[in-house]
Amino acid sequence: MTDTVSVADLMDSSGVGFGTSGARGLASAMTDRVCYAYTRAFLDYLHGRGEVASGQRVALAGDLRPSTPRILAACAAAVWDVGMTPVDCGRIPTPAVACWGIREGIASLMVTGSHIPDDRNGIKFNRPAGEILKEDEAGIRARRVALPAGRFTADDSLAAPPPTPESPEAYDAYIRRYLDFLPPLSLRGLRVAVYEHSTVAREALGRVLVGLGAEVIRLGRSERFVPVDTEAIRDEDVSLARAWAGTHGFDAIVSADGDGDRPLVGDENGNWLRGDVAGILTARYLGADCVVTPVSSNTAVERCGWFPQVTRTRIGSPYVIAAMQAAAGHRVVGYEANGGFLTQSAVVKEGRVLPPLPTRDALIVVLAVLALARELGLPVSRLAGLLPARYTASDRLTDFPTALSAARIVALRDGGPAALAAALGPDLGEVTGIDETDGLRISFAGGDIVHLRPSGNAPELRCYTEADTPDRAGTVLRQCLAVLAGWKA
């Protein structure tokens, strides 16, 4: 006997729904039954579009959080049951499995909660051409799927996890992608620290840097999952990097978030670059003529004058990808404020080709920033000085229900410009612009910008600020967070 379930109903009842990138929720809510159903709906959706067929492979990978192996087993069972073959690509970065799927023309998925705490997890789905977009999410959510009799126990656990064939091909191809693009030994003489923590990209970072001639210092490895968020860098990560700079004397320090799609790049003093600054520098190194980035990114991308075309979108890689696909240009790239970088076009540099990878990637940013510094003969600390003096800061309030934060933002907007200025701080001055592309982005006469937005991945309220000095951006951020903390009452 087969049970048929509605994916929409399952998302509503479990609380595991689509966010900014993929489906996410509490690990306890991501039961084997839920993860099986979502994977089956994903593959049924692709089959209905003629993008996959029985007998094909499906690439699977995961991050290092403790719930990942169980969820991967449930996803693999769904692949087997639709008549396809799962391939376990290992614990490798999200862009590595996506890149291999695109190259092989097969569907892929990554079990990861990215930067969020390890009591949560998620699944990122990729079509053979790349990430699913918002219209694909709607198509998956609309599916009804069959759950075979005997597949699950009474507590929704998988009754008998099937074996899954393993392959190192995706990881090896990902490493080769960068060793083939940058000139051999192009980073020789650089001393680079890799902050390993629990990022699944730690092995790839070290292997590529060594392969390009850099001396690598491995620091801070953790066997416990550490929720490193590249958009709201923890105080302990700021302190660690600066302390290590004094101890180890490196030229740069690099890292990534949990699933390796968002980078952290720090200079020789252990100061982390903002992700959107690193994105601009990466776009310059790659010679982009069209840059797509969300509305929350630093306005230095327009002010620098390096790029003929800059397009702004809502926050989230699906929106960036959709805009890149629609863009006209020979070298179309995209990046987010969290540092994730995407390439829509092949990049040719000194006769070497970097194939397109329209999904967030940490490794290209790390390598491009180091290569640009070497190309210009500058230390990493001086690269940001090439840009107009605009500085951003961001943080989040956790355990802030999405519905509550959305309602509070609407009420703030409806109060009008005078109410906005009064609510967020008298020193901000007159409101000169309001942008509702994603959340509420407010520009003030003195040049300050405040952007408020509910997170698309977790019950968090995010605040982004921009100003003419780093101190001012930080001051405005702290001031706004103090106001927003009172919204919970």
Report pLDDT digits (tens) over 388-400.
999 988 888 888 8
Q: What is the DSSP code (8-state) at residue 310?
A: E
Domains, the chain, ordered by start: 3-167 (3.40.120.10), 172-386 (3.40.120.10), 391-488 (3.30.310.50)
Q: What is the DSSP code (8-state) at residue 378?
A: -
Decide if pLDDT at 198 tops 60.
yes
Provide the residue type at 11 as one letter: M
- Quick one: average pLDDT of 309-322? 93
- Look at residue 383 in the predicted model and tell me its pLDDT: 97
- Look at residue 471 in the predicted model and tell me its pLDDT: 95
Alpha carbon separation from 265 to 171, 271, 338 (Å, rounded): 22, 8, 11
Residues 6+ apart with CB under 8 A from 127: 46, 51, 107, 136
Residue 440 CA to chain centroid, in angstroms?
21
- Look at residue 457 in the predicted model and tell me its pLDDT: 66
Decide if pLDDT at 206 tops 70.
yes
Q: Determine which one of 114, 297, 345, 455 is catalytic.
A: 114
* Contact between 265 and 369 (Cβ < 8 Å): yes
- Look at residue 489 in the predicted model and tell me its pLDDT: 66
Provide the residue type at 305 as one letter: G
Tokens, residue 196: 């390993």
381 assigned to active site? no
Tokens, residue 277: 């600054």
In tens, the pLDDT along 227-277 reads: 998 877 889 999 999 999 999 999 999 999 999 999 999 999 999 999 999
* Residue for token pair 């959340």: 439
**Residue 374 parent element (H or E):** helix 363-376
Query: What percentage of residues in the chain have a pLDDT greater than 70?
Result: 99
- Quick one: average pLDDT of 121-143? 95
For the beta carbon of residue 160, count every other beta carbon within 10 angstroms.
9
- Quick one: average pLDDT of 310-331? 91
- Quick one: average pLDDT of 400-426? 85
- Look at residue 427 in the predicted model and tell me its pLDDT: 84
Q: What is the DSSP code (8-state) at residue 384?
A: G
Structure confidence at residue 412 as a pLDDT band (50, 70, 90)? confident
- Look at residue 179 in the predicted model and tell me its pLDDT: 98
- Look at residue 299 in the predicted model and tell me its pLDDT: 94
Can you tell me whether residue 105 is helix, strand or coil?
A: coil
- Look at residue 160 in the predicted model and tell me its pLDDT: 85
What's the rounded Cα separation, in Å, for the pair 221 and 246? 19
* Contact between 151 and 5 (Cβ < 8 Å): no
What's the rounded Cα separation, in Å, for the pair 313 and 299? 13
* Contact between 90 and 171 (Cβ < 8 Å): yes
- How does DSSP assign 9-41, residue by residue? HHHHHH--EE-SSSEEEETTTS-HHHHHHHHHH
Rounded to 5°, the CA angle 214-186-188 comes to: 35
Decide if pLDDT at 458 tops 90.
no
Angle between helix 94-104 and 169-181 (nearest 10): 90
**Residue 193 parent element (H or E):** strand 191-195
Burial class (CB in 10 A: 0-12, 13-18, 19+), 238: middle
What's the rounded Cα separation, in Å, for the pair 157 and 74? 9
- Quick one: average pLDDT of 331-352? 95
Angle between helix 169-181 and 363-376 (nearest 10): 20
Average pLDDT, the chain: 94
Nearest of 320, 278, 323 to residue 301 by alpha carbon: 278
In tens, the pLDDT along 264-301 reads: 999 999 999 999 999 999 999 999 999 999 999 999 99
* Contact between 20 and 455 (Cβ < 8 Å): yes
- Look at residue 43 in the predicted model and tell me its pLDDT: 98
- Look at residue 420 in the predicted model and tell me its pLDDT: 79
For the beta carbon of residue 322, count every other beta carbon within 10 angstroms.
18
Q: HEC profile for 200-258?
A: CCHHHHHHHHHHCCCEEEEECCCCCCCCCCCCCCCHHHHHHHHHHHHHHCCCEEEEECC
H helix intervals, 166-201: 169-181
Tokens, residue 309: 């075309």
Query: What percentage of residues in the chain have a pLDDT greater than 90?
Result: 81
What's the rounded Cα separation, in Å, for the pair 255 and 369? 13
391 forms beta bridges with 467
